[in-house]
């Protein structure tokens, strides 16, 4: 019987090790196998005291939202109650706390009543996405008595 050279045995071990490595732990890092989350949750609490300038009205509101980075969609529910009158406009503005800012995303389809709820979606572009993620958006509800905004809340990542 002929002896196999030691190199054949080593080659077999190397091949077996390579196969095992590729099929188990040596493949990709676990983090690479799980794609990063694409959704981010946001919330805002609206009040007259956050307006610029602040007001003493007792109306309040809440915003809950989810942003999907894959589709660039911001899905949100906005509620309000106790306003001095029906909303005349609603917007997402770009601005820091205490500073007025430009309208970025108009909100349509709201109920013209002193209290209500709206569920909607909006498309967010790249610049708006960055501002949203960094907390540079606020939501504002305007009324006839407060044309610049009766209640406002900063949209913050949860």
Q: Show me where the domains of the chain are located.
A: 39-157
Per-residue pLDDT for 125 more than 90?
yes
State the Cα–Cα distance between residues 5 and 150, nearest whole angstrom.
88
Q: Per DSSP, what are the bridge partners of residue 117?
A: 79
State the Cα–Cα distance between residues 146 and 53, nearest whole angstrom.
11
Confidence class for position 2, pLDDT limits 50, 70, 90 = low
Structure token pair of residue 7: 């190199």
Q: Is the pTM of this model over 0.85?
A: no
pLDDT at 12: 47
- pLDDT 10s digits, 52-80: 999 999 999 999 999 999 999 999 999 99
Length of the chain: 158
- pLDDT 10s digits, 126-145: 999 999 999 999 999 999 99
State the Cα–Cα distance between residues 5 and 21, nearest whole angstrom.
25
Which residue, among 79, 62, 89, 52, has the nearest Cα to 155 in the 3D structure?
Answer: 62
Per-residue pLDDT for 49 more than 50?
yes
CATH fold of 39-157 reads Immunoglobulin-like (2.60.40)
State the Cα–Cα distance between residues 38 and 68, nearest whole angstrom.
6
73 sits in the region (left: phi over 0; alpha: psi -120 to 50; else beta) called: beta
């Amino acid at each position: 019987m002929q002896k196999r050279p030691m190199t054949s045995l080593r080659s077999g071990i190397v091949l077996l090790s390579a196969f095992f490595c590729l099929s188990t732990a040596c493949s990709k890092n676990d983090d690479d196998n799980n794609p990063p989350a694409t959704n981010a949750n946001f919330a805002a609490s609206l009040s007259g005291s956050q307006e610029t300038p602040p007001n003493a009205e007792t109306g309040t509101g809440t915003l809950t939202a989810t942003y999907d980075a894959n589709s660039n969609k911001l899905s949100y529910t906005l509620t309000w109650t106790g306003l001095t009158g029906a909303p005349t406009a609603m917007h997402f503005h770009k601005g820091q706390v205490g500073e007025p800012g430009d309208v970025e995303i108009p909100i349509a389809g709201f109920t013209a009543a002193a209290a209500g709820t709206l569920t909607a979606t909006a498309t967010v572009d790249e610049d708006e996405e960055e501002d949203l993620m960094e907390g540079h958006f606020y939501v504002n509800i305007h009324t006839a008595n407060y044309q610049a905004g009766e209640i406002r809340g900063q949209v913050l990542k949860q």
